[in-house]
Structure 1
């Protein structure tokens, strides 16, 4: 059965249709760009993309202990976690995407889910998968 085209009224802030393979390619280019070897943007554009845009006084509050938060600081479409990871998150009802890399090792991880994470059980399951990917990432670094 053919499914109708998926649409959402909040399309300007999301609605990006992608695959894990495409997000992986995007992440590879981001890592190369961070390392000065990107091919899509000029080196100065990558420097601006990865430049944190805020200072501590810009925040009334921020959770400095949430390793999944990209909101410790922000760049241009990039989030900087307090752990040092750089990446981006996204989601709409029924979908979520996490894409982060360790700038020191050049190793990243992507998680793309098509499920509802509105309840605690769903969120806990997602973080368990994300943590499993982190453990795998640690093994790769060694």
Structure 2
């Protein structure tokens, strides 16, 4: 079971690392989009969200307080879903559908991250192939 949990962690965080690199290396361009969505302090928010994804993803991947890493990802995903993918404000049908897909993806990933939190903070904290035990 330890190997399956490790493979699951690797597959889950893969998306966050690619996105974190974009947030950290193309901050200005991504901040422009965030500002157009009404995100306050868009440049700082873009950089901060990149850090959240990178740190949370790395913690979950390596099993260094994996429960905290999962919560950091939730802390990124939920606000992002509501601030950046507010499909209910779109009037164009195609844009509305694209934003709804992204919103649903973020909500589903937040659910997955919460499941990782529960797994590593609760009864699954005995899973091997981690560097530390849970923080919570």
Q: Same fold per TM (> 0.5)? A: no
Quick check: which one's strand share is greater? 1
Give the TM-score normalised by the residue count of structure 2.
0.28
Q: Which has the higher contact order (CA 8 A, sep 6+)?
A: 2
Quick check: which one's helix share is greater? 2
